[in-house]
Structure formats: C-alpha cells, structure tokens
Structure 1
Amino acid sequence: MRYLKSNIHYFLVVAEELHFRRASEKLHVAQPAISRAIQQLEDQLGLSLFDRSNRGVALTAAGQAFYAECQAAARIMENAKLKAIRSANGETGQLLIGYTDFAINGPLPRLLANFHHQHPDVTIDLVRKDSHTQLEELEQGKIDLGFLTGPIKSSSISHHIIHRASYVVVLPLDHELSKLDEISLEMLAEEEFVLGDNNTWRHFILQLNTYCIKAGFTPKISRQAPTTESIFGLVAAKMGITLYPDFDLNHNRKDIAIRPVKNSHAYMNLEAAWHKQASNPAVSLFLSANQIQLTA
C-alpha cells in the first residue's frame, strides 16, 4: 500500500501538535487540506488515527502505534539522506590505492594515517604494483590513486611530487666501504649490484642506470629481487651492494650499512598520481587531507 508523502507529513505534525489549527499554522497549509489528507490516510488504513471531540484531538491506540512507526521511518530516511550526502562527498565508501616499495618505505604510511584520522569511514584498500602498472590502471579507472616513481608523462594523469629523495649506498655491514662516512658514486664502478627485477622496478632501474652512466660506469648486476626487503636481504648476505632512495626506511635491519652518496645532486621523485577525471570523490578528500595540490 502506497501513501502520499504529504499525507504522512501532515499526520506527523498533527500528532505532534494534537491541534489542527496549530498544525495548519506550522505547515502553512489550509486547515481543510490537512483534514482531507488525514481522512485519506485513515481511509487507506481502514481505521481511525485520531479521536476528534469538543475537548480536542487525541491519538487513538492505532494512531499512537502508527505515529511511532512513522517517526522511526522518518529517522531512517533522514539517516539515508545523510549517508547519501556523505557518500557523494567522498566521506564514506572505498579508496583503492596503488603503491610501490619506495612509497610504503617512505611517506605513504604518514599520508594514510592523516587521511584515516580525518575520514575514518572511508575504507582504504592497498595494492602493491609497479609504477608502469599503476599508470595503466589509473588510465583504466581500476585504481583511484597511485604512489609511484616519476617522471610521469601522461596527458590524462594529474600528479604531484610528494618526496624528493637523494640516493644512498646500501652495503653489507662489514664491507670495506662501510667504514666511510660518505661514498662517491665512482667508487662503486667495480662493485656487483643487487637490484629489483626488470618488470616491477623498470622505472627505477632506468633512472639508476642513467645516474651511474653519468659517473662513468654501468652497474654490474649480480642478483635481482622483487621487493626491498629481499634486496636488502641479499645485500646482507654479501651478494652485492645497491643504491636506494634516501627515505625514512621502515625497517630495523642490523646487518646492513647505509651511507650517503658524496657530492650527489641526483634525486628520485616519488609522486602521487590520479586520473584528471577521477569520479571517486574520496580522491579529492585524500589529496586535501594531505595538502597535495589538486592539479599538476
């Protein structure tokens, strides 16, 4: 059975006021119109909602029960409205974020914490993906935000540098070079390198090769591994050394040494990236929460 929304609204006001004239004044609706609406509602229900007498208006037992349920329904509808508004504003829902090892070992945990503190009702899902795949999936709308290695050259992707990291040398704890406070890049020309695999670390390897070539050598790769921890593990096992961006590394390894590169002016850019036509409003909230520029 369908009821006119206006009839229900009129009923609620009359039930609150228990006076048709006061209800008319409150609703700014003529009293006869309200009386007709209540009568239509009673006819639909097949019962009386009000006792009308010279002494005034009172809810019947049926009217009291109907009033309680209508109030509950009104609260549900108001809550549904608020949830819809919050969802449209990106304050609820889901945010799918791609990340690289550099991001999760750098500033990303802090950015996630900032956002979660301000918008705890948005579910954040993280997926580890290389930079190239993140760019593809941003283009296709498969992820909402990416944290990846720059540079980014796409007309449809907005991006913002969130961290510029110089390079450090990571080497076994008892390596001869670990005795130095700084290590010049040229001193690594004869060293064997442990690097990420070519598929998932391609952006970084390209930059690293360019960096080393400018110093007069190409890295001699002895081992490749898929993750930061596995790379560092191989370094600790004396399989080689590596170069890594100077992030605040989230690890407590005691079996490696980390030294800055002497007189280096090279940097690796970690960037936040999102589609210019991103439809998920939570993207803008995330960027705003972390004071990341909305345009690039």
Structure 2
Amino acid sequence: MAWHLQPHIRYFMVVAETLHFREAARRLHVAQPALSRAIKKLEDKLEVTLLARTRRHVELTAAGWAFLEGCREAGRTMDDAEARAIQASKGELGRVVVGYTDFAISGRLPGILAAFHSRVQGANIELLRRNSHEQLDDLREGRIDIGFLTSPVPGDVFSHFPVQQDRYVAVVPDSHPLASRDSIPLSALQNESFVLGDSSAWRHFNPHIHALCLEAGFLPRVVYETGSTDSIFGLVAARVGVSIYPERELNHRRPGVRVLTLQGLERRLSTEVVWISQSANPVVQHLVSVAKEMSDTAS
C-alpha cells in the first residue's frame, strides 16, 4: 500500500473495529465528515467498497473483511520490522564474521563465543580459520569483522587488546634425552633441529621463536617447516626435530611428544582481539565487550 494512504488505512481500521463513524471519529480526534471523506478516498483508490453504510448500520463488506485482515497482518509485519531494526541498531541482531587462529580456538575463543551466544541470541556468527596476516588483510578489505590473531598488530586502522597470554614450552620427542625432565633452560635446545610453521603462513609467530632463541644465545636451526599445528607435533613425534609452542595448545595430550617448561622464561605470546576502529557493525562491539570480560587480563 502506498505510504500516502497510511492515515486512511488507520482510519479504516478504527471504523472497522467500531462499526460506528461517530465513535471512530471521536477515537481518532478528527471530524466525522473528514473521516468519511478519507474512507471514500481509500475505497476509490482500491476500486472496491469496504463498508456497507445505511442510516443505522455500518458493516464490512467481503472486500472490507479481507482488507482488514491484510492491514492487521501488515501491521504485525511492520511492528516486527521496527523491533528488528531497533535490535540491529543495538547490536542484538545481525551478523558478524570472525577470523581465528589455532591458538585462539584452543584458548579463550570457544568460551567467548558461548557467552556471546547466550547474551545476543539474535546475532549470527560466521567463523573463518585464517592465519594472522590473512586476518589483517581480511579486516582491511571488509571480509571479516573481527579477528583473533597473534601479535603484533599494526596501529593504522585497528583497535585491539590482548585476550590471552600463553607461556612458551619446549616440545620434544618422548624418546629424546631431555624428555625425562620436567623443565629445561631454552639454551639446552641450541644444538637441536627445529620444526616450525611455514615461514609465509606463520610469519606472525616464527619471529617470536627466533627472538626467544636469540635471547638465549643462539639461532634455531630449522630443518623443516610445515603448515599446521598437527603436522608440527607429528614431525616432532617422528623425531624430525623439536619445537617451541604456546602451552595452551598442548592442553590435550599429544602422542609421541613430551612438553617441557622453559626455565626463567617470562615472555608470553599474546593473542589479540582486533577490529577496525571505525567499524559500523554494532554486533562487533557486543563481541568485543564479551571478549574483554573473559580475557586473561580481566580482573
């Protein structure tokens, strides 16, 4: 129905409910002749008779009954549309695309998503597994709305904060001479062969390992690079080499490997929640708030 007829529709619905022009005019705070003219204009526009009028009675015609039900349904639809628009403006309804790394999904992210779903049930989350630099590109291009990725984060267009801080641990084959120990200094690995993630895909993580080893007085001798967490642990179990990894990733037992604490190592690997500072998606702010509440640094 054309928007310019909306007042006339409202007038019709009140007349249809009261079946009395004088009472309808009183409720609508309009003069009765003006109300009659509005109903006549509506009928002329529709080219049907909506109301059967006599001196004593007003009745709905078959067309009038059908039109009244259609108006009621349209009203319910508009009420629902209004409610949904308000919900969406508050971030209670909508869609958010979330990028994540292996470190994030094995850490805080599942709990954050569960808490978010319980609070904002009208929002849909799409999850995309991406390495850290892919997430930064995706954020810039609008392919994702928020990322859970490994630091560092450039400061150009991004807002971010640390959501989890992980200790580094050594991962060695369970048959390795060091496997009988619970902890070692990092320098104990200086003559070992290392298995790390692929230099391109893991470009945010590998520099952290190189920096740790340099602080311990050596450069890691990398003999194999691979693309996934499981393949790194598999190659360590196969005695190809050792690795250094975030402790949280090893919460679940991995066959064929031994996890050793690194003595005196205070540095932590930071997983950051990252989003575009000027994001227009209100759902993002809801998710950011939940992540802040559940971060490792939350008091």
Same fold (TM over 0.5): yes
> What is the aligned partner in structure 2 of residue 33 from structure 1?
34
Deviation at 1:23, TM superposition (A): 2.2
> What is the aligned partner in structure 2 of residue 201 from structure 1?
202
Deviation at 1:98, TM superposition (A): 1.6
Q: Please show how residues 127-206 of structure 1 align to structure 2 within 5 Å.
A: 127-206=128-207
SS at match of 2:13: helix
Deviation at 1:129, TM superposition (A): 2.1
Deviation at 1:251, TM superposition (A): 4.2
1:230-287 alpha-carbon deviations (Å, 9 max, x no partner): 1111111111111111215464423222222112111111100001111222211211
SS at match of 1:10: helix
CA distance in 2, matches of 1:292, 1:274: 17
CA distance in 2, matches of 1:249, 1:109: 16
> What is the aligned partner in structure 2 of residue 109 from structure 1?
110
Asked whether the 8 Å contact 2:172–2:243 carries over to 1, the reply is yes
- Percent of aligned pairs with the same residue? 44
Asked whether the 8 Å contact 1:118–1:289 carries over to 2, the reply is no
CA distance in 1, matches of 2:128, 2:46: 54
- Normalising by structure 1, report the TM-score: 0.91
Amino acid at match of 1:262: Q
Q: Please show how residues 239-250 of structure 1 align to structure 2 within 5 Å.
A: 239-247=240-248, 249=250
Name the count of aligned residue pairs. Answer: 293
CA distance in 2, matches of 1:224, 1:196: 5
Asked whether the 8 Å contact 1:195–1:225 carries over to 2, the reply is yes
Q: Point out the more displaced range, 161-170 or 72-81.
A: 72-81
Asked whether the 8 Å contact 2:135–2:147 carries over to 1, the reply is yes
> What is the aligned partner in structure 1 of residue 24 from structure 2?
23
Could you tell me which runs of 5 or more consecutive residues in structure 2 were left unpaired when the two chains were aligned. Answer: 295-299
Q: Indicate how the Cα distance of structure 1 residues 128 and 250 shifts in structure 2: closer, same or farther if over 3 A, else same.
A: farther
1:196-238 alpha-carbon deviations (Å, 9 max, x no partner): 0100111211111111111111111121111111111111111
1:143-183 alpha-carbon deviations (Å, 9 max, x no partner): 21111111223231100100111111112222222211212
Q: Point out the more displaced range, 177-186 or 16-25.
A: 16-25
Q: Indicate how the Cα distance of structure 1 residues 289 and 265 shifts in structure 2: closer, same or farther if over 3 A, else same.
A: closer
1:34-73 alpha-carbon deviations (Å, 9 max, x no partner): 2111111122233322233344432222211211111112
CA distance in 1, matches of 2:239, 2:197: 16
Asked whether the 8 Å contact 1:115–1:286 carries over to 2, the reply is yes
Asked whether the 8 Å contact 1:144–1:274 carries over to 2, the reply is yes
1:4-60 alpha-carbon deviations (Å, 9 max, x no partner): 111111111211222223322332333222211111112223332223334443222
SS at match of 1:8: helix
1:255 and 2:256 equivalent? yes
SS at match of 1:230: helix
Asked whether the 8 Å contact 1:169–1:243 carries over to 2, the reply is yes
> What is the aligned partner in structure 1 of residue 49 from structure 2?
48
Amino acid at match of 2:248: F
Asked whether the 8 Å contact 1:18–1:58 carries over to 2, the reply is yes
Q: Indicate how the Cα distance of structure 1 residues 104 and 250 shifts in structure 2: closer, same or farther if over 3 A, else same.
A: farther
> What is the aligned partner in structure 1 of residue 96 from structure 2?
95
CA distance in 2, matches of 1:248, 1:176: 23
Asked whether the 8 Å contact 1:160–1:292 carries over to 2, the reply is no
CA distance in 2, matches of 1:237, 1:28: 86
RMSD: 2.1
SS at match of 2:199: coil
Asked whether the 8 Å contact 2:163–2:292 carries over to 1, the reply is no
Deviation at 1:89, TM superposition (A): 3.3
Q: Point out the more displaced range, 66-75 or 53-62.
A: 53-62
1:123-148 alpha-carbon deviations (Å, 9 max, x no partner): 32222222222222222323211111
Q: Please show how residues 202-217 of structure 1 align to structure 2 within 5 Å.
A: 202-217=203-218
